[in-house]
Amino acid sequence: MVRLFTTWLVPVAFTLLGFGLNVKSATAQMINEFSATYDVLAFSRSVTPGITASTLSGTSTDAPYGLTTINGLTYSVVDPITGFFRFNTDPTVFGLQDIPSSEVVFGSGTNKLFGTDSATGVIDFASLTATATGIFTITGGEGIFTGATGTLNFSEVDTLSLDPTIPTRARATVNGRIYVPPVQKVPEPTVTTTLLAIGLIASSFELRKHYSSNRR
């Protein structure tokens, strides 16, 4: 009986010790509210007749989490009669199959957000201004935004130029929620768990020693 108890006790002790060393805990998913305004410059070039690629770069003075810059590349199509336009980071939306998709990046430091964008708008040819609304779909990130998902809504007002060498100026307001997955971490073993395991191991040896002495 003592032998059975000892045989059972030692594995239990090591199980408890292992539990103290390897148990994982997860924090709840974090929701980060985001709101910022960016001043953006867009340099455009023709890719095919009717399709334009625009390189974007901008800065913000009120963006949280250090996401004070924005950079990316989008493709756009404009109806020259109605002024209606749409843009997207995915060139296949416009039938461009041999061009890789691009992305928009928020931040240039430790924290970054990666995503795609899609928007529609209209140009007022009389005032050479345009308005647009759309969404950024978050596909990942770095720093505190590793594994991030979510969508950010945006609206913008553009100031256009008839001179192709002068970039379009845009003021974009961005807001939404950024979801970050739980962080898995391995804590140090607790004092209680470790002492309990050591105590059980010691008890098993004492029982075995006592049992051996009685048999003699």
Distance CA 10, CA 83 (A): 79
Same domain, 94 and 134: yes
Q: Which pLDDT value is given to residue 202?
A: 55
Name the least confident of 24-38, 60-74, 100-114: 24-38
Q: What percent of the chain has pLDDT over 90?
A: 65
Same domain, 6 and 74: no
| Statement: residue 10 has pLDDT above 50 | no
Say if CB 117 and CB 74 are below 8 A apart: yes
Same domain, 71 and 9: no
The crossing angle, in degrees rounded to 10, of helices 2-22 and 191-215 is 160
Q: What percent of the chain has pLDDT over 70?
A: 71
> In which domain, by residue range, is 194 found?
2-23+189-215
**For the residues 185-205, what does the mean pLDDT come to?**
53
pLDDT, the chain, mean: 83
The Cα-based distances of 140 to 24, 99, 117, 181 in angstroms read 24, 22, 13, 11
Label residue 162 by pLDDT band (50, 70, 90).
confident
Label residue 214 by pLDDT band (50, 70, 90).
low
Residue 210 φ/ψ, nearest 5 degrees: -65, -40
Same domain, 206 and 100: no
Name the least confident of 73-87, 141-155, 158-172, 181-195: 181-195
Label residue 4 by pLDDT band (50, 70, 90).
very low
More confident residue, 159 or 188: 159
Q: Which pLDDT value is given to residue 164?
A: 82
User: Residue 126 belongs to a domain with what CATH number?
Assistant: 2.40.480
Q: Which of these, 93, 113, 89, lies nearest to 102 by C-alpha position?
A: 89
Same domain, 51 and 75: yes
| Statement: residue 3 has pLDDT above 90 | no
The Cα-based distances of 169 to 65, 160, 166 in angstroms read 25, 7, 9
Same domain, 174 and 198: no
Same domain, 100 and 207: no
Same domain, 174 and 93: yes
Q: Which pLDDT value is given to residue 204?
A: 55
Same domain, 174 and 193: no
Q: Which of these, 85, 214, 100, lies nearest to 156 by C-alpha position?
A: 85
Same domain, 64 and 130: yes
Q: How many domains does the chain have?
A: 2
